[in-house]
Structure 1
Amino acid sequence: MKRITQHILFCIGPIFSAITVTAQQKPLARLQISNPTSMTRENEIVEIEFSRLEAKVQQASFKVIETASKMEVPYQLEYKGGDKPVNLLVAVNKLLPKQTLNYDIVAGQAARTVSKTYARYVPERKDDFAWENDLIAFRMYGKALETASDNATGTDIWSKRTDKLVLDAWYKGNDYHTDKGEGMDYYQVGITLGAGDIAPYYKDSIILSKNYHHFKVLDNGPLRSTFQLGYDPWKVGDMDILATKTISLDAGSQLNRVEVKYNIAGAEEADVVAGIVKRPQESPVILDQKNGIIGYWEPEVKDKGIMGIGLLTSKPKEVKAANGHYLSRLTIKNNTPLVYYNGGAWNRAGKITTADEWFTYLRNYKNKIDKPLEVKVK
C-alpha cells in the first residue's frame, strides 16, 4: 500500500466530532469494537493490526464509518518508522459498558482534520525534544543542555488549557513560562526523574543517564505521535547500559506510553525505577503497589495552580517514597522492552481539578490498559 498522510475529521470537545455520510457504499471490511468492562469508555484510540485488514483494504485511501449512525470517524495509519502500515488507529468517541459498535471501512477520501498530536526536535532550544496532544505537553532535554547551568534530566511537563497544538508558537515566542491564556511551563525538573522518567537503581541509588543524544520520529499524528530517544552508554556498577526509549502520545490522553529497552553489558537484567520527583510540602499521594499506580497531587504553586502527576507500571517489585521521589521499582531484562505510562494533568485546564479526580483517572486508565477494547474484523 502506498504511504499517505490522512486528514481525518473536524476537531471537537472533548476530542473529535464527526460528519454524516449520506451515500450508501459497500464496505470493504467491517470492524466490531466491544467494551469488555463495566465502565463507559470515551475518547480512546483503538489499535488494529493492519495485517488483519490488508487482504480486504487495498485502496490507498478509505473512510471509516460508524455503521448505525452513518457518521465518519477519524483514523490514522501507523507506520512505526517503516514504509508499510503496521496498525490502523481508530478514534472511538464513546462505548457504554459491554456495548459493541460496528464500523465499516469504505472506499473514498477521508474528511480533513487538524492534527491532535505533534512531536519534534527543537534545535533552537539546546536540543529539546518536545511533544503534545490536545490536553498536555512534554519535553526531554538534549545533549546541548548538559553543559548549561540550568541543565535538567527527567521528563518535563507543560501545563495546557487549550486543545490547540502550541509547541511551535511557544518556542517561537520564547515566553512560555508565562500563562497568556493557553498555559505555561512551570514544572521544576532539575537533576531528577521529573514527571515519570526511568533510570537504573543500584545499591539504593538512582543512577541517571546523561541527556538524550539521538532521536527518530516514527509517526506524527493526527491521532498518535511516536518517537525514539537514544542515550549514550553509562556505567552502573559493573554494567554498561545503552538505552532507547520509544514514547507514544495519543489524542485525548493525559498519559504517555513509554517503551524502554536496555542493552546491558555485564548482566542479564537490572533493577530500574520509574519515578516522580517529590516536593518538600505534604500533598496527596497514592502508592498502590498491587495495581502499579503512583498518583501525586502536587502542592499548589502560587499564581500557577496544581499539577497532578501519574505513573502506571506492571507488577512492580515495590512502590515507595525514597531518594527524593515516589518510585516504582521494576526489573528490566537485557534487550527486552519494558512498558510503563507517565503523564499529568493541570487543575486550571478545568478537566481534572482535584486529587480524587486525578486518582480516579489513573485507576480507570490502568483498567483500560488491562482490559483493552476488543476488535473483530469481518
Structure 2
Amino acid sequence: MKFIKLFFGIAFIFPLALLAQSRASVNIQNNATLDRKEAVVAIKWNAVLSKYPQIDTANFVVINSVTKKQVPYQLEHIGQKAVQNLLVQVDVKATSTLSLSIQKGKPETFVTKTYARYVPERKDDFAWENDKIAFRAYGKALEKEKDNAYGFDVWVKRTDRMILNERYKLADYHTDHGDGLDYYHVGFTLGAGNMAPFVKDTIRYSGNYQQWKILDNGPLRTTFQLSFDSWNAGEIKVSATKTISIDAGSQLNRIENVYTFEDTKPMPVVVGIIRRPETGVLSLNEQQGIMGYWEPTLGNNGTTAVGSILTTPVTNMSVDATQIIAKTTVENNKPIVYYTGAAWDKAGKITNSKQWFDYLNNFNQQIKNPLVVSIK
C-alpha cells in the first residue's frame, strides 16, 4: 500500500511540473489615468526563460487572456546575439491590468510596422519609418553637395504601409502620390529635433553621420546607431553616437546620445526645431521640457507638426528667426535621452494644434508613468 501511495503522489506532481514549464503569465499594469493605446512593451527575456525555460523561439504565441487572440510580438536583440527582450504591442486601459499568456503555438505573421535602412543610392541617406511617420538623416556623401543639410528630415505619410523603398525607387518623393511626400525643409538647422553642442552661445553643428549600424529592424521596434566623427565644438573636440528607436504606433522617436569630449564639466547642448517665416503655433513648457510646433500650412501639402520632449532639466527655451531650441547639459560619455518626432494633418489622426500639444503632453505622462510588467 505504501508503494501505491508513493506512485500516485509522483504521478500527481509530474504533470504540474510539466505545465509550469509550458507557459508563462504576464501582467501589464497601467497605473496612470490615461489609456495606453498601441503601446510597445518590453518584457525581459531572462524573466520569460525563468518561468518558461523550455520555450521554443520559433514556436510560441502571446495570447490576450480575455479575448484569447494572438498579440503581435518581436524578439528584441539590441545588437546582441542573444535575445534581450520580448516586445508586445497592446492596449491597456487607464488604471487597469492586462493579462497575457506566453505558450506553445504557431505565431501569426505580424505586419511590419517599423523599418530602417541605409540608402547608398541617395548620397548615404539613412531613412526610417513606422506606421505613422518617416524620417531621414543625411550621410557623408551629401556633405560635398550644395543641398547639404544638418538636422533630421520628416517624410509625412498617410498610410500604415512601409513606403521608404517605394519612394526611393520612384525617385519622386517631393510629390504626393497618395501616401504622402517629403516637403519638409531642413537646411542648416537642427530640423525636426536634432541635438548639437551649444558652446559660447552658438550651435556647434557636427558633420553628417559617418557610420551606421542597425540593432533591430521591426516589426514593432526598429533601433539603429549613427556615429559622427570628431569635430571642433567651440574649442572642445567632440564625437558622438546617436542611438535612435522608433516604435510602431508612435509619432516620436526615442534618441539616446553619447557625447565624448575632453572636459570634466558638463557640456551645454540644445535640441532644435526649424521655424518657418510664416505664422505657426508654438507651445513651450520649460518645466516639463516639451517643445511643440504646429507649422504654418504649406498650400496643398497641408501642415506638419513637430515636437520634442527632453528628459533632463531644461535651463531655458528660446525662439529666434530660424529655430526653436531647448537648452540642457550632457556629461562626457554619459547617455542623454530625449524624444522627438512629427505628425501630418492630412494623415487624419492629428488635425490641429491642440490635438498635437495634447499628444505631446500625454506622451510625456507616459514617459513618467511607464507600464509595470510582472511575470509568473
SS of 1:303 mapped into structure 2: helix
Max radius of gyration: which structure?
2
SS in 1 for 2:43: strand
Q: Which residue of 2 aligns with 1:17?
A: none
- In the alignment, what sits opposite 2:348? 350
Among candidates 38, 41, 55, match of residue 50 of structure 2: 55
> 2:116 aligns to what SS in structure 1?
strand
Establish whether residue 218 from structure 1 lines up as the match of residue 253 from structure 2.
Answer: no
Distance 1:113 1:207, change over 3 A: same
SS of corresponding position for 2:186 = coil
Asked whether the 8 Å contact 1:119–1:225 carries over to 2, the reply is yes
Does residue 306 (structure 1) correspond to residue 303 (structure 2)? The answer is yes
Please say if 1:256 is aligned against 2:226: no
| d(CA) in 2 for partners of 1:202, 1:348 | 39
In structure 2, how many angstroms separate the alpha carbons of the residues matched to 1:338 and 1:147? 30
Question: What is the distance in 2 between the residues matched to 1:279 and 1:204?
Answer: 22
TM-aligned CA distance change 1:71 to 1:25, over 3 Å = farther
Match of 2:282 in 1: 285
The aligned amino acid for 1:244 is T
How far did residue 56 of structure 1 move?
2.5
Q: Would you say the 8 A contact 1:81–1:219 is kept in 2?
A: yes
**1:162 is the counterpart of 2:159:** yes
**Hey, what's the Cα distance between the residues in 2 that align with 1:239 and 1:207?**
10
- Aligned residue number for residue 29 of structure 2: 34
| Structure 1 counterpart of 2:147, from 146, 150, 156 | 150
2:185 aligns to what? 188
Amino acid at match of 2:294: W
Query: Where does structure 1 lack aligned partners over 5 or more consecutive residues?
Result: 1-23
Counterparts in 2 of 1:25 and 1:115: CA distance versus 1, 3 Å: farther
Whole-Å separation in 2 of the counterparts to 1:171 and 1:293: 33
Q: CA deviation at 1:171?
A: 0.1
The 1:106–1:327 alpha-carbon spacing in structure 2 relative to 1, beyond 3 Å, is same
Q: 1:279 to 1:110 in 2, by over 3 A?
A: same
From 100, 117, 122, the equivalent of 1:120 is: 117
Change (3 A) 1:256 1:365: same
Deviation, structure 1 residue 26: 8.3
- Shift in Å, 1:25: 11
- In structure 2, the residue corresponding to 1:191 is in which secondary structure? coil
Residues 95-124 of structure 1 show CA distances to partners (whole Å, capped at 9, x for unaligned) of 221111110000122111221100000000
Report SS of the residue matched to 1:187: coil
Q: What is the distance in 2 between the residues matched to 1:220 and 1:105?
A: 22
CA shift for structure 1 position 282:
2.1
Question: Under a length normalisation based on structure 2, what TM-score does the superposition of the two structures give?
Answer: 0.92
Whichever structure has more helix as a proportion of its residues is: 2
Answer yes or no: is the 8 Å Cα contact 2:263–2:332 preserved in 1.
no
Query: What SS does the corresponding residue of 2:178 show, helix, strand or coil?
Result: coil
For residue 200 of structure 1, what is the amino acid of its counterpart?
A: P
Q: 1:27 to 1:362 in 2, by over 3 A?
A: farther
More divergent stretch after superposition (237-246 vs 265-274): 265-274
Aligned partners of 1:369, 1:185: CA distance in 2, in Å? Answer: 29
1-structure distance, mates of 2:65, 2:233: 55
Partners of 1:375 and 1:75 lie apart in 2 by 15
CA distance in 2 between counterparts of 1:200 and 1:323 reads 20
Matches within 5 A, 1:199-238: 199-238=196-235
Aligned residues: 354
Percent of pairs identical after alignment?
A: 47
2:70 to 66, 69, 72: 72
2:318 to 317, 320, 343: 320
Aligned to 1:135: 132
Is the CA contact (8 Å cut-off) linking 1:233 and 1:243 kept in structure 2?
Answer: yes
Correspondent of 1:84 among 78, 82, 85: 82
| Cα drift, residue 27 of structure 1 | 5.2
Gaps of 5+ in 2: 1-18
Aligned counterpart for 2:293 among listed residues 296, 315, 330? 296
Matches of 1:111 and 1:118, distance apart in 2: 19
1:176 match: 173
Worse overlay, 277-286 or 245-254: 277-286
Whole-angstrom CA distance in 1 between matches of 2:106 and 2:20: 13
Q: Secondary structure at the match of 1:231?
A: strand
1:242 matched to 2:251? The reply is no
In structure 1, distance between residues paired with 2:66 and 2:300: 48
Matches of 1:113 and 1:349 in 2, distance apart? 23
4+ runs deviating over 4 angstroms: 24-27
| Contact 1:278 1:326 (8 Å CA) reproduced | yes
